[in-house]
Every structure is written in structure tokens, then in C-alpha cells.
Amino acid sequence: MLSRFDDYPLHQTPEPIAHPVSNDRNTYDRFWFNGFSADGALYFGIALGLYPNRRIMDCAFSVVHRGVQYSFHGSRRAPDERDVLEVGPFRIEILEPMRTLRVSLTANESALACSLTFTARSMPLEEERQTLRREQRVFMDVTRFTQFGRWEGWIDCAGERMDIRPEQTWATRDRSWGIRPVGEPDVGGAPLNVAPQIFFLWAPIHWDDGCSHVCVFEDAKGRSLHAEGKRAAFGLPEPGASTQASAAQIVRMTEVSHQLRYHPGTRRMQQGTFTVVEPGGEQRVITVEPLALFQMKGLGYRHPQWSHGVWKGELATGHDSWRLADLDPLNLHNVHIQQLVRAREGNRTGLGIVEQLCVGPHAPSGLNGLLDGAR
């Protein structure tokens, strides 16, 4: 099937652009954003995913305000053209690639609406390719970039209009694509001989003079499956200039380690330390303390009804909300979280997030079961 993008010199295979190189039904392509104020009074997340082999596109917009998290969800049959990023009242517009994007949610049955513009402050930081296996099968094979910026616009939440000003609202976004578990689980065949397990940390931090980022996957014994750290100064190349020279300004750490202390009876970080080593051997220690909580199920991650890549019909929308203090932190749908954090390194302070997903055993954390809490 041809699309208008086949008129551009973008092809990576002999197939048209609309035909993924992999026939894995879990092939995906995803937009993700968050935004937050320095005091944690406002935190919001945005997502849109395309699953071309499932012929599905879905989206979500979720806001934490006054202790309650509100969410809008949408799903549709995937459009034929790759630049159509719309699901019902929800839309993403790429105004200038890698620089400026607009997200809008018009009036709908939920408590939410918005018109928001993301403006980049940094080059996109390309993460190393993440390839994970369970027994012999690759279940995750992903490329992701992370980018730092600011938001401007407005949000309507539960009848309250909030002006979003760039000097007060930090932004992080990522784009990822490849293969990851989505939709209904596979059926048939022999069951796995390994228990379900994942340990994932993702920590982008805004500093006054630039940004830093850490990404970690570990197995049940705490052995590294993927670990990387990067830093970069704020600033973008001139429009039309090559991105290669700017990309060279991104510094990759040679070592990454972490240490977390959990709230007792949960799998939520109470305090954390990330230690990274510069190419020249200098060790840098970043401590983080949580300020606010965001449940990733608000964007479809492990949501019981609006999980990613599930067929909901030609077009479907929905909404939900919950008081964060009332949630069971060890319920499977609630263990995937982001925490807004205050970061410190020496005399400087930063603001960012630590995303956490810990299911199954993780020996360094003292966790032995599927969803036991820390002691």
C-alpha cells in the first residue's frame, strides 16, 4: 500500500513506507510527553502509539491536580497515512521536527481539554538500542530518543482553566519505536520457564545549564541488561544546520549505577542515588527525592481497559479518574509509576523524573516475589 510519504527518499527496505520491516504484531511507533511545575502542583502526561501490524492507533492525556489523576483515552483503526496523528478529539502536530510540536484535546466527555505547544531546549539524546529476551525470544527491541523542553498553552481540568507558561512548566518527551509487548498476550505454545520479571529505571533531569539522563534494565539478580547515562548542554543548531556536530556534544557516561531506598511495603522510591562516570574518569553522584506521583496507567501502561494496542473498535474514547492516596501501590496496575524529583549534585539542583517499573524479584532491592513490598 502506497502513502504520500513514498514520494520522499525515506525508504529503508524495498517495501512501501506503510509496510513495517518486521511482521511481529508487537511492532510499534510511539510519542510520549510529560510536563510539570517545580512545586509538583501540576503534572501531566501525553501519549500516542501506532501499531501498524495490529492496524490500531491509540492515545491518552492524563493530569494530576489537587491529588486526583484524570485521564482521557482514545483508540481507532490506524490511518493509512503516517502523518495523521489524530484520535477523535485528540491531535499531535509536528510544527518543526525535533523542535516544536503541538498537542490538542478539544471538548469531549472527559474532565480534560488542552492546547499545548512543546518547544525543545536540547538536542534529542539517542538512547542505545535496547534488545531484551525472555528465553530464546526477543520481546523488546527498541530505539528511543529523549528530549528536554518547555510547555506553553492551557489545560482545562475538572472545570478549572490553567494557563501553562514556559518559564514555569518543564517538559520531557521521548520517541520510541521497534518491538515491545502490546495488546493481547500471545496464546498457544509451551509456557515460559521463567517467572515474570522486569526492573526498569528511566531518569531524565533538567539542570540550570543542561540536562542529564539515565536508563537501566536489570534482571532478577540485579545484573545489568542495559545501562547508560548521557548529558548535554541546552541549545539547538541553527535551522537547516547539520545535527551531527550538535550530536557530538552529547557526552556518554562510561559507567552507571544506582541505589534506591523504598517506602516500606511498596515498590516506590523514597530516595535514590545515581552514580555515573565521565569519559575522563570523574565520578558524579546525583541524589533524587520525590515531590509528586504520576500513575502510568493514566497513559494506558498496564491499564485494565485501555492498555496499548488493544482493539476497541473503529473509534472509541473513554475517561477515568482516581485519588492517588487511595490506590494500592502493590496492585499490578499501579506499580508502573513516574515520580517528579528534586535532584542534587554537589551544590547544584535540578528537576526531573524517575520512572520505575519493578515486577517480580529483584535481589538488590530485597524483593523476592511477584509483587511483594520492600521492608
Q: Please check the confidence at residue 12 and state whether its pLDDT lies above 60.
A: yes
Secondary structure element (H or E) that encloses residue 246, with its range: helix 244-247
CB 217 within 8 A of CB 61: no
Q: 16-183+194-365 in CATH: which number?
A: 2.40.370.10
- pTM for the full predicted model: 0.95
Secondary structure element (H or E) that encloses residue 247, with its range: helix 244-247
Delimit the domains of the chain by residue range.
16-183+194-365
Binned at pLDDT 50, 70 and 90, residue 248 comes out as low
Contacts 24+ apart (CB under 8 A), 220-227: 220/195, 220/360, 220/361, 220/362, 220/363, 221/363, 222/362, 222/363, 222/364, 225/132, 226/128, 226/130, 226/132, 227/256, 227/257
> Per the structure block, which three cell numbers stand in for 60?
491518552
CA 236 to chain centre: 22
Q: Which tens digit of pLDDT belongs to each residue from 141-199?
A: 999 999 999 999 999 999 999 999 999 999 999 999 999 999 887 777 787 777 789 99
Please give the mean pLDDT across all residues of the chain.
94
Range among 4-13, 177-186, 230-239, 297-306 rated most confident: 297-306
CB 152 within 8 A of CB 162: no
Residue 127 neighbours by CB under 8 Å, 6+ apart: 143, 144, 145, 146, 213, 215, 228, 230
